Structure 1
Amino acid sequence: MTLSGRHADILRRGHWIFDLDGTLTVAIHDFASIRKALGVPPGGDILEHLEALPLEQARLMRQKLVAIEEELAGRTEAACGAVGLVQKLHGRGTRLGVLTRNTRDNALATLRRIGLQNFFAERDVLGREEALAKPDPDGIYRLAREWGVPPSALVMVGDYGFDLETGRAAGAATIHVDTSRAFRWPELTDIAVGSLAELALALPELPVRPCSPVRAR
């Protein structure tokens, strides 16, 4: 990947937010099947559809969605390069967060399964119960406030349009990870890579700050 000066500046930033499923993990979600199981029309937004249901029906469908997500989390794997990239960022003192449309509990379980739980403080992992769901930029704003930096100082990394829309709306830089290299949202993307391993190789060399893994609080 050839980097411009602006790209290098983005990669030097000290505050990064990651999407979870399909970004830090291998994509295993069959969203068409999930929609069918929950009665969501093809192509519909799952969370928006459940939000519009009558209260009791919505409660039951949310329980069903959580069960599906927990089953998927139990067999997920780290994406290519995820562990190396996170270790490298953490080693240079980068503050790391997760913003997911999943639940926080499921996100934390997934981070444990893929060996990344010690690099993310629990308060920096936001699910759909802690922040408005992407593509609303609420989660980025919350992490920016927590970290004491403007949203424009952040990097948002994701594999889908919602992630990139969220970053753009907040004024953060965006990195699109697409193993197919189709890169469908160039207008929302600052840097496009085929894998997190490729992204790790592109990071400018910075002094490494000795530190211990972040512990959940």
Structure 2
Amino acid sequence: MTISGRHTDILRRGHWIFDLDGTLTVAIHDFASIRAALGVPSGSDILEHLEALPLAQAELMRQKLVAIEEELAGRTEAAEGALGLVEKLHGRGARLGVLTRNTRDIALATLRRIGLEGYFSKRDVLGREEALAKPDPDGLYRLAREWGVVPNVMVMVGDYGFDLETGRAAGAATIHVDTSRTFRWPELTDIAVGSLAELALALPELPVTPCSPVRAR
């Protein structure tokens, strides 16, 4: 990537929010198969579809979805450069959060599996039970209030359009991570990178603020 003055300003920010699956982890979700298993029409948003079902049926399908997500979380791996980027940001004293359409419990289990749980406070990991699902910007607003900042000093990092839409809607800067380098949403993207390792290399050097890993609370 080519770093411009605008990019440098974004990369110097101290409040970073990450999508989880496919961003901090290697993408292993087969959403077509998940839709088929849950009886969700092809191309439909899974969470929106379940929300529209009768209460008892919706609860049954949510339980089935959680079981699928737990199985996937049990075999996920960290994305290239995830640990190095998070360590570097944490060493600079940045506040770090996760905003996922998964549940918080599964998100925490995933972070633990990939070696990143210690860098995120539990209250800064928001799932679909803590905030309205992306692309609604509710989760970013909640983190901004928790951190005592306005959203336009934050950075949203993700691999999918929902992540970028969420950032745009809240007024945060957006970073698209796409290993295929097709970058399908340029109108929603401030910075595009092929990996978190590439993003870590692009971070400008700043004075280090040593701090211990966060313990989940």
**Residues 49-76 of structure 1, C-alpha deviation per residue, up to 9 Å, x if partnerless?**
0000000000000000000000000000
Aligned-partner Cα distance in 2 for 1:145–1:45: 28
TM-score, normalized by length of structure 2?
Answer: 1.00
Matches within 5 A, 1:23-172: 23-172=23-172
Aligned-partner Cα distance in 1 for 2:43–2:10: 33
Aligned-partner Cα distance in 2 for 1:94–1:214: 12
2:4 maps to: 4
Unaligned runs of 5+ in 1: none
2:19 maps to: 19
**Residues 100-125 of structure 1, C-alpha deviation per residue, up to 9 Å, x if partnerless?**
00000000000000000000000000
Aligned partner of residue 149 in structure 2, secondary structure: coil
TM-score, normalized by length of structure 1?
Answer: 1.00
Aligned partner of residue 2 in structure 1, secondary structure: coil
Letter in 2 for 1:44: S
Unaligned runs of 5+ in 2: none
Aligned partner of residue 90 in structure 2, secondary structure: helix
Aligned partner of residue 175 in structure 1, secondary structure: strand
Letter in 2 for 1:36: A
Aligned partner of residue 107 in structure 1, secondary structure: helix
Letter in 1 for 2:38: L
Aligned partner of residue 174 in structure 2, secondary structure: strand
Deviation >4 Å, runs of 4+: none
Residue 184 in 1 paired to residue 197 in 2?
no
Aligned-partner Cα distance in 2 for 1:191–1:127: 25
Matched-pair identity in %: 89
Letter in 1 for 2:185: W
**Residues 94-147 of structure 1, C-alpha deviation per residue, up to 9 Å, x if partnerless?**
000000000000000000000000000000000000000000000000000000
